[in-house]
Amino acid sequence: MGHYNGDSQHDGEEVYDLICVGFGPASLAIAIAIHEMLPERRPKVLFLERQQQFIWHAGMLLPGSKMQISFIKDLATLRDPRSEFTFLNYLKEKNRLLDFINLGTFLPLREEYNDYMQWCASKFNDVVSYGETVTLVEPSKDNAGKANRFVVHSKAGGIEERRLAKRVVVAVGGRPVLPKPMPEYHPRVVHSSQYSSRVPQALSNLDASYRVAVIGAGQSAAEVFSDVSSRYANANTTLFIRGDALKPSDDSPFVNEIFNPSATDKFFQTPAEERHQQLVENRATNYSVVRLELIERIYHDIYVQRLRDPSGASWKMNIRNHSQLTGFSSSNDHVTLRMSHHENGVDTVEDHEFDLVIVATGYARDMHQELLAPTKSLLEDPTAERFPIGRDYKVQFGDGKVSADAGIYLQGCNEVTHGLSDTLLSVLAVRAGEVVDSIFNDKHLSNVHTNGHATKLPASSKVGGPQSNGNGHNGISANGYH
């Protein structure tokens, strides 16, 4: 992507055209779109990422786990199929294109898709600062009292940084959510986002007869339940779900159209009450649902148990439905979950002891609220619960409070206004084009279209020339990956 020339100085300080907070798939797609849509502009851009490298859902890169979207919905293809950043070009560069074709699948391993994104990210190392945590974004006002820049505060290795930017994109992903009775941190409680790193430490003996609980009914919960059962042959693993049963995700063709980029336009223009109803109706595409293939595998494993022991006394895998966590306590060597169970019209409360509890209850997408708190004074209604967002993902500040060449954009936290695809990978390529278009499109940019697509660029047109190879990391998340 190269070193950008950018703007002149502002009060003696360097001013960035754009700072992106977070460098996961959303920001990576923006980096790619800038590189391909603005070959002559060379804006001054910086990406700040709290992790030490680019990695996507590191805690859930389980052996054999597959993507839940077609590889065609990668970081570039839907915006420009001729991009050098397509998944197919990645395969070509890695000498695996024909081998992948021979697999006969549209769904790569999650491990491979992470490698693809790291391959893309490695080409932007010179404009990414890893290991840097953004702590606050506040407005900087001109003499007329209008915000014309934003100050981005961050910490890197204990050192505080501050930078000025005309525009800021906040793409920080989700915050792991634990059920209310649980403490925010406990050594015997693991959120699924940390599964791969914390579980091998907590359960270090593969042959031990651990007691493990998994809470949740979505894809992550099912993957964890299955993985623990196969990894620890003698462990007793119980999956607690609130509903009747594990339910399959609906990824049938007509339903899947709600994840088309064009569906975002229609959803955004829909009245708020109808939008809410649509989100409720379509939850089965993404929340508390599991890929049918995995459901069938788990059912098969439980069936084999029933075959070998009809009494159930020796079963290592158990699913308790109609269960809800109501209490939590712990001692030095175990935790106790108080669960309410509803069965055959009867409510009971039971205490269950476990060596480890793995929670797969999703994410809250509200981390931008705290980061952007100082900018709320610029809103028409500073007491508003949510930041009002335009179709182009730009925060709608009050009239005359922010200059035309400044602004803040939100990514991955706009499901209420932009639909279920907002937290998913499906729309990243096109959405990145829309955001880059909104930020940089002006009379001088003849090669950028308002629909988020770039015109074909000469093969020699490079924005700073990406480096040839390497590895990098981070991600967008939800239960599904449509």
Residue 288: its pLDDT value, please?
A: 84
Tell me if 456 is assigned to some domain: no
Residue 12: its pLDDT value, please?
A: 65
Tell me if 266 is assigned to some domain: no
Model confidence at 334, in pLDDT bands (50, 70, 90)? very high
Could you tell me if 170 and 194 lie in one domain? no
Model confidence at 453, in pLDDT bands (50, 70, 90)? very low
What is the SS3 string spanning 75-126?
CCCCCCCCCCCCHHHHHHHCCCHHHHHHHCCCCCEHHHHHHHHHHHHHHHHH
pLDDT tens figures, 283-304: 777 788 999 999 999 999 999 9
Percent of the chain with pLDDT over 70: 89
Tell me if 142 is assigned to some domain: yes
**CA pair distance 214, 226, nearest whole angstrom:** 10
Whether the model clears a pTM of 0.95, i.e. scores above it, the answer is no
Tell me if 451 is assigned to some domain: no
Q: Residue range 371-390: average pLDDT? A: 93
Give me the sign of the Cα torsion angle 133, 43, 461, 428.
Answer: positive
Sheet of strand 323-330, all strands in order from the earlier edge strand to the far edge: 323-330, 335-343, 346-354
Domains: count for the chain: 2
Could you tell me if 101 and 228 lie in one domain? no
Could you tell me if 127 and 86 lie in one domain? yes
Mean pLDDT of the chain: 87
Could you tell me if 149 and 37 lie in one domain? yes
Could you tell me if 83 and 140 lie in one domain? yes
Q: Residue range 51-57: average pLDDT? A: 92
Q: Residue range 159-177: average pLDDT? A: 94
**CA pair distance 379, 99, nearest whole angstrom:** 53
Chain-centroid distance of CA 87 in Å reads: 19
pLDDT tens figures, 342-360: 988 888 999 999 999 999 9
Lowest mean per-residue pLDDT among 18-27, 130-139, 186-195, 455-464: 455-464
Tell me if 465 is assigned to some domain: no
**CA pair distance 327, 340, nearest whole angstrom:** 9
Q: Tell me: pLDDT of 468 over 90.
A: no
Q: Residue range 41-59: average pLDDT? A: 92
Q: Tell me: pLDDT of 449 over 60.
A: no
**Higher pLDDT residue, 50 or 467?**
50
Model confidence at 457, in pLDDT bands (50, 70, 90)? very low
Could you tell me if 201 and 315 lie in one domain? yes
For the CA atoms of 117, 123, 129, 130, the dihedral, rounded to the nearest 10 degrees, stands at 40
Q: Which of 449, 415, 419 is nearest to 434 (CA)?
A: 449
Tell me if 167 is assigned to some domain: yes
Q: Residue range 215-242: average pLDDT? A: 95
Tell me if 146 is assigned to some domain: yes
Residue 280: its pLDDT value, please?
A: 84
Residue 125: its pLDDT value, please?
A: 96
Could you tell me if 105 and 241 lie in one domain? no
**CA pair distance 45, 168, nearest whole angstrom:** 10
Tell me if 87 is assigned to some domain: yes
Q: Tell me: pLDDT of 5 over 50.
A: no
Could you tell me if 328 and 228 lie in one domain? yes
Could you tell me if 165 and 185 lie in one domain? no
Model confidence at 13, in pLDDT bands (50, 70, 90)? confident
Could you tell me if 162 and 16 lie in one domain? yes
User: Which residues, 6 or more positions from 245, have their beta carbon under 8 angstroms from its beta carbon?
Assistant: 321
Which domain covers residue 356, as residue numbers? 179-248+291-362
**Domain end marker among 307, 327, 362:** 362
* Domain of residue 48, CATH code: 3.50.50.60
